[in-house]
Structure 1
Amino acid sequence: MSPRSCSKLPWLVVSGYGAHIKSTPRLLIVQKNGTTTEYPIGDVHHLLVVGGHTIHSAVLQHMQNAGNWVSFFAADGTPVGLIRPPEDRVDEQVRAIQRHAPAHSYALGITRAALGRRLQVIGETTVVTGESPLYQGELEVLQDARQELEYLVTLDEIRRLHRLATDMYYEIMARTIPKGTGFRRRTARPYMDPVNTMLSFSYGILSGVCAVHLAGAHLDANIGLLHQGERALVRDLTELFKPQMVDQPIFALVRQGITASDYEIGESRCTLSDALIRRMLLHLQTSIEVTAIGRQVEMLADALIRNREFQILDPAEFLPRIPLKNH
């Protein structure tokens, strides 16, 4: 098969397993699944290798000569190594910018968008199931919360409203799920029902994708805007994608039917079967739009580094392409 040229973001993610990565002084060459793709080395400012692949030592030499970065991650997005050009401290510069960013405006934008997307999922689920899961007055409460955001002054107020609206969303969506699953709301670990376990597994995959792209943009995953603590920025970013990329397809899968053979509830936690995990992965491979996540990270980095308005993608650009109707 003849090689093709491709260049999108200023960073390149090679994920999964089995890729063969090599280079010339001018080209980065990735061979995977019978396809060879060539990238001008000058356009790949950051190569991110996720999972198990073969990489020629010449790739590291040519990337360094071009002043580019190479990062290595485990399959789940956990960082395991970094090679950067000598004297290049762009990550430290970006980290300083993150620490001094006006977190209030970013947190406001993330919370507003996340709430809007969750309202959209509730509405679309009502259409699919033919029955509204909302109790009287709940829609008004969520809509009022969205309007109230504009008047919140402190980050603590924004975080509190975000938690309340998110908790309410899960309780509403639980009413669309068969009662036999035991899912009533989003809970903390350890998970004792299959739906919370499925969500946690899926959120982990989404978080890994987000973490890798944040690293590609040299953003520090631990410096959040809405959230605080370890991997706070990853949690910020996943809030924008959980409703459409994970919740919608996973809730649809559960409504289509899971059986007692799909999971086991032990004394300390619920365990998913390999068969159910494979079904989930088939859905998530389609619904988790990696390109959209990369674009959103690029928009976030652009806003932070160049002090521009933070733009958030329209969900229409990454709506799930799997069937959401009940069977």
Structure 2
Amino acid sequence: MSQRSCNKLPWLVVSGYGAHIKSTPRTLTVQKNGTITEYPIGEVHHLLVVGGHTIHSAVLQHMQKAGNWVSFFAADGTPVGLLKPPGDMVDEQVRTIQQQAPAHNYALGITRAALARRLQVIGETSVVTGESPLYQGELEVLQDARQELEYLVTLDEIRRLHRLATDMYYEIMARTIPKGTGFRRRTARPYMDPVNAMLSLSYGVLSGVCAVHLAGAHLNADIGLLHQGDRALIRDIAELFKPQMVDQPVFALVRQGIASSDYEVGESRCTLSDALIRRVLQQLQTSIGEVAIGRQVEVLSDALVNGREFRILDPAEFFPRIPLKSVKKGHV
């Protein structure tokens, strides 16, 4: 089966295993899972090869001649190699732009969207379980936090409110999880319960996808807008997609039931069984949407580099909206 494709993004990600990548001076061809897809090589400004694939040396030759980039990543999104046209300084130029960007507006938009999506997950969970995990007044606190965002003038204030609202969200969602798992809130490493361990594994997978797309846009992963430090921009983008792409499916999997044999809590940490890890990864294959992540990264890049308006893509394009249920009776 063969098809031609005009890539919607200025970069192309080939992930997983087993693809066969070759090219002519005009066409890049990717054969995978019995399907052959052809791309005009002039429109693939950055080819990102993630995982284990076969790539012809002609691909590198033709991509470089066309002035395009090729980056290589391990399966988890860790960069392992890069080929760029001689003298191309786009990565240095974009780094300077990132360092000079007015982070406040970006941080505000990310925080606002992340909170809204977490509220959506709480509401959808209420519908699925038939009861709300919210205690009296908690919904109002989170809604007030969202309104307070509009009046915050410093990045430290935005970050503080973001941390408080996020911590509160995990404590609320913990009430939907069987108590026998020991999950009460999101904790730091080492993880002593299976739910935190599952979330950590899943966030790692999501972060790998975000890292690849940020590299495709030549954005520096360590120069964040909301977060600070190593991989800060990866955490910024991942924050927008954690609620629906990771939290919702992982919490649902736990509610469906995990056996005591699926994990082991030792003196220093909780270890997940290979079987449970496979279940989690299988779920993530359908819940993590690379198209949505790629489009959001493209919007961010366009705003930073070209001065366009920064906007968060409407979650309704990817996730259906379900209204919040009323507070569970008896919770005060």
Q: Which secondary structure state, in structure 2, belongs to the residue aligned with residue 48 of structure 1?
A: strand
Name 1:271's counterpart in structure 2: 271
Aligned: 1:239 with 2:212? no
Specify the alignment match of 2:255 in structure 1: 255
- Mapping for residues 125-140 of structure 1, pairs under 5 Å: 125-140=125-140
Aligned AA (1:177)? I
Partner-residue secondary structure (3-state), 2:255:
helix
Distance 1:3 1:100 in 2: 42
Answer yes or no: is the 8 Å Cα contact 1:222–1:232 preserved in 2: yes
2: CA distance, partners of 1:109 / 1:227 = 13
1:233 partner amino acid: L
- Letter of the structure 1 residue corresponding to residue 195 of structure 2: V
Give the structure-2-normalised TM-score: 0.95
SS at match of 1:18: strand
Tell me the alpha carbon deviations over residues 73-116 of structure 1, each in whole angstroms, 9 at most, x when there is no partner: 11100111111001111111111110011100000000000000
In structure 2, what is the Cα distance between the partners aligned to 1:287 and 1:318?
11
Q: Which amino acid aligns with 1:148?
A: E
> 5 Å matches for 1:30-109?
30-109=30-109
Distance 1:318 1:258 in 2: 28
Task: Give, as a single letter, the amino acid of the residue that structure 1 aligns with 2:264.
Answer: E
Counterpart in the other structure of 1:325:
none
Q: Cα deviation per residue 1:98-139 (whole Å; 9 max; x = unaligned)? A: 001110000000000000000110111111111111111111
Within 5 Å, give how 1:205-220 maps onto structure 2: 205-220=205-220
Contact 1:68-1:85 at 8 Å conserved across structures: yes
Q: Using the alignment, how far apart are the partners of 2:228 and 2:128 within structure 1? A: 36
Are 1:167 and 2:167 counterparts?
yes
Alignment RMSD = 0.9
Contact 1:244 1:315 in 2 (8 A): no
Q: Where does structure 1 lack aligned partners over 5 or more consecutive residues?
A: 321-327
- Partners in 2 of 1:9 and 1:183 — Cα distance? 39
TM superposition shift of 1:5: 2.9
**Distance (whole Å) between structure 2 residues aligned to residue 308 and residue 43 of structure 1:** 21
Q: Distance in 2 between matches of 1:4 and 1:285?
A: 25
Sequence identity of aligned pairs in percent?
A: 87
1:298 partner amino acid: E
Deviates further, 130-139 or 223-232: 130-139
- Could you report, residue by residue, the CA deviation over 1:208-245 in whole angstroms, capped at 9, with x for unpaired residues? 00000000000000000000000000000001000000
* Equivalent in the alignment of 2:310: 310
Secondary structure in structure 2 of the residue aligned to 1:264: strand
Structure 2 residue ranges without an equivalent (≥5):
321-332
* 1:13 maps to amino acid: V
CA distance in 1, matches of 2:314, 2:166: 20
Aligned mates of 1:205, 1:89 — CA distance in 2: 30
Distance 1:138 1:179 in 2: 21
What is the SS of the residue equivalent to 2:210?
helix
Give the letter aligned to residue 197 of structure 1.
Answer: A
CA distance in 2, matches of 1:287, 1:250: 10
CA distance in 1 between counterparts of 2:147 and 2:316 reads 22
The match for 1:324 is: none
* Stretches (4+) displaced over 6 A: none
Report the counterpart of residue 324 of structure 2 in structure 1.
none
Q: Does 1:148 align with 2:148?
A: yes
Measured after TM superposition, the shift of residue 318 of structure 1 is 2.2
Superposition TM-score, scaled by structure 1 size: 0.96
Matched length? 320
Q: Partner of 2:5 in structure 1? A: 5
The answer to whether the 8 Å contact 1:6/1:37 transfers is no
For each residue in 1:164-191, what CA deviation from the matched residue of structure 2 results, as whole angstroms up to 9, or x when unmatched?
0000000000000000000000000000
1:3 deviates by 4.0
Displacement of 1:2 in angstroms is 3.1
CA contact (8 A) 1:126 1:133 kept: yes
Distance in structure 2 (CA, Å) of the matches to 1:315 and 1:252 = 20
Q: Which residue of 2 is the match for residue 228 of structure 1?
A: 228
* Cα distance, 1:308 vs structure 2: 1.7
Superposed displacement of residue 273, structure 1: 1.2
